[in-house]
Amino acid sequence: MTFDAGGAHRLSPRVGLRPEPFGALAYHYDTRRLVFLKDPLLVELVEALVHHPSARAAVDRVVADAARRPSFLAALASLAGSGVVEPQHATLRETA
Amino acid sequence: MTTKTPPLAEQLKSGLDAPICLTWELTYACNLACVHCLSGSGRRDPRELRTAEAKDLVDQLAELQVFYVNIGGGEPMLRTDFFEIVEHSVTNGVGVKFSTNGTYLDRAAAERLVELPYLDVQISLDGMTPEVNDAVRGEGSHAKALEAMGHLRDVGFEDFKISIVCTRHNVDQLDEFKALADDHGAQLRITRLRPSGRGVDSYHDLRLTNTQQRQVFRWILDHPEVLTGDSFFHLNALMTETGDPNLPGLNLCGAGRVVCLIDPVGDVYACPFVIHDEFLAGNVRDAGGFARVWRESALFTELRQPASAGACASCGSYDACQGGCMATKFFTGLPLDGPDPDCIHGHADEALAAVAAGGVLVPRPSQDHSRPGTVGVALTRKR
């Protein structure tokens, strides 16, 4: 599944997020994969996703430095690839 | 990503608020007597955690957001409350991966296991043939392990693990192990042999030769889907010779930093391979429980300090291999701030020869749970 920055996203409910000094550990209970979020701002962003109409809107709000936004969008795309982040209606679509 | 923080590996070395995962040996009781058993298991320790204590420990781990535990032993399925503890764990958000020799994993057990969420099973096997496997794990153990795998496959347990400790006798069977795993819809896991527990006596007969270590390194790079538990990170020293990329994983000694071991009586050690008084950090029965041991013990605090490269400081590979495995150095009588005995450049050979010549006190495991008269499988040193 390709990452659509224009779509609404959320932290997957199948993922446990544990705060750490460097950011957070994310553990996906289905894939058993552990992912490191190496920046506290990225953690904040991932948690904020659900409150925004699109991933891009969340980045624009959370990441003050516009020059850094592309790298955060890329990080979100990577997290979507590993299932840590998912479209907000993923479950509905799968069961439809 | 641009950050002002130090690299992740450096931060992990200074420790986490809780382990990423930990190993929990449920019992020292075992029906087998593998010659390389890292916990020297056999007889049950009468002081082992009772059911209520075990479940309370699970609650502590859940509170700390430890995502999963590696349960082992001994043979964990020998505990009559095995399922009670495992079910309590997975229903409280602490996933379980447990290692078993398969003896007690019959059809009924497989049917029960396949129903549990967040549960992985790992069947130990150390040879594709009874000849190779049973020389290490004991008569009949090959057949029992394969029976258990058959049950898991028959009930549709997907992606269970087949776990191999690489030895000089089975290293040429890696392709066959892989085919066996594929045939069962399982995942292959290969790990490094350590001289811990009874392994202290079998290590020199079983350890890989230098050539075989290079063979394993290549094989791992060619099979990225095979799990390794990050256990071969000392081989990253080859990177500087061959230009190959790093092995996947964190590539650092996680002892007391990101991992630890809880033994059957609740003692907390720095890692599963150092069950020795020198690496004992505390006990989960102490005031403050596991969290206090993890966060405040003097031993773990010390392990999280920057390590000295010692004798490895002048070697160009140190950044890649980090000097190797602390436990392996300790139980072979080598200094902890020098090369790993399996240093791929052979930098430990001289020190090993000195130890073999005598005059160096090689540590023995602080405890032995072997059943009397069960050890003594004949091993031949294959060159």
Residues of chain B with pLDDT > 90: what percent? 82
pLDDT(B242) > 60? yes
pLDDT(B382) > 50? no
Contact residues, chain B, for A72 at CB < 8 Å: 1
Contact residues, chain A, for B67 at CB < 8 Å: 16, 18, 25, 27, 29, 34
Tell me which of A4-18, B61-75, B215-229, B235-249 is least confident: B235-249
Work out the mean pLDDT of chain B and round it to a whole number.
92
pLDDT(A94) > 70? no
Give the model's pLDDT for residue B23: 97
- Based on DSSP, count helices (H) and strands (E) in chain A, helices before strands: 4, 5
CB A24 within 8 A of CB A37: yes
Residue from A32, A48, A61 nearest A88 by CA: A48
| Chain-chain contact of A36 with B93 (C-beta, under 8 angstroms) | no
In Å, how far is B156's CA from the nearest CA of chain A? 16
3-state SS class at A28: strand
Considering only alpha carbons, which residue of chain B is nearest residue A72? B1
pLDDT(B5) > 70? no
Q: How confident is the model at residue B6 (pLDDT cuts 50, 70, 90)?
A: low
Give the model's pLDDT for residue B307: 82
In angstroms, how far apart are the furthest CA atoms of chain A?
A: 40
Instruction: Please give the Cα distance from B331 to B352 (Å, whole number).
Output: 11
- In chain B, which residues touch A (CB < 8 A)? 1-3, 5, 8, 11, 16-18, 20, 65, 67-68, 93, 95, 117-118, 120
In Å, how far is B3's CA from the nearest CA of chain A? 7
| Chain-chain contact of B20 with A29 (C-beta, under 8 angstroms) | no
| Chain-chain contact of B3 with A38 (C-beta, under 8 angstroms) | yes
Nearest by CB to residue A18, choosing from B8, B65, B118, is: B65
β-bridge partners, B29: B42
In the predicted model, what is the mean pLDDT of residues B241-265?
86
In the predicted model, what is the mean pLDDT of residues B302-306?
92
Which of A15, A17, A18, A44 to mutate to test binding with chain B, by most B CBs within 10 Å of its CB?
A: A18
ipTM higher than threshold 0.95: no
Instruction: Please give the Cα distance from B67 to B85 (Å, whole number).
Output: 16
Contact residues, chain A, for B95 at CB < 8 Å: 29, 32
| Chain-chain contact of A16 with B67 (C-beta, under 8 angstroms) | yes
Give the pair of three-digit tokens for residue B311.
């004798």
3-state SS class at A60: helix
Burial B228-243 (b: 16+ CB within 10 A, else e): bebbbbbbbbbbbeee
Q: How confident is the model at residue B160 (pLDDT cuts 50, 70, 90)?
A: very high
Tell me which of A43-52, B277-286, B331-340, B366-375 is least confident: B366-375
Nearest by CB to residue B2, choosing from A18, A32, A68, is: A68
Contact residues, chain B, for A21 at CB < 8 Å: 11, 16-17
B351 CB-near residues (< 8 Å, 6+ apart): B334, B335, B338, B339
Contact residues, chain A, for B3 at CB < 8 Å: 38-39
| Chain-chain contact of B3 with A21 (C-beta, under 8 angstroms) | no
Q: Is the Cα torsion angle B286, B292, B48, B43 positive or negative in sign?
A: negative
pLDDT(B381) > 50? no
Radius of gyration for the alpha carbons in chain B, expressed in angstroms and rounded: 20
In the predicted model, what is the mean pLDDT of residues B215-222?
95
Considering only alpha carbons, which residue of chain A is nearest residue B69? A32
Q: pLDDT of A10-58, one tens digit each?
A: 999 999 999 988 899 999 988 888 899 999 999 999 999 999 999 999 9
| Chain-chain contact of A39 with B95 (C-beta, under 8 angstroms) | no
Q: How many CB atoms lie within 10 A of CB A74?
A: 13
Cα separations in angstroms, B141 against A21, B76, B225: 45, 16, 26
DSSP A23: E
Contact residues, chain A, for B65 at CB < 8 Å: 16, 18
Q: pLDDT of B263-292, one tens digit each?
A: 999 999 999 999 999 999 999 999 999 999
pLDDT(B366) > 90? no
In Å, how far is A18's CA from the nearest CA of chain B? 7
Give the model's pLDDT for residue B1: 45
Contact residues, chain A, for B118 at CB < 8 Å: 29
Q: pLDDT of B128-156, one tens digit each?
A: 999 999 999 999 999 999 999 999 999 99
Give the model's pLDDT for residue B248: 76
Q: How confident is the model at residue A68 (pLDDT cuts 50, 70, 90)?
A: very high
CB B114 within 8 A of CB B158: no
Question: How many residue pairs from chains A and B have C-beta atoms closer than 8 A?
Answer: 44
In Å, how far is B206's CA from the nearest CA of chain A? 31
Which of A12, A14, A38 to mutate to test binding with chain B, by most B CBs within 10 Å of its CB?
A: A38
Q: How confident is the model at residue B375 (pLDDT cuts 50, 70, 90)?
A: low
Instruction: Quickly tell me which residue has 């020297």 as its tokens.
Output: B40
pLDDT(B72) > 70? yes
pTM of the model: 0.91
Give backbone dihedrals phi and psi of B54, rounded to 5 degrees, phi first.
-65, -45
Higher pLDDT, B367 or B186: B186
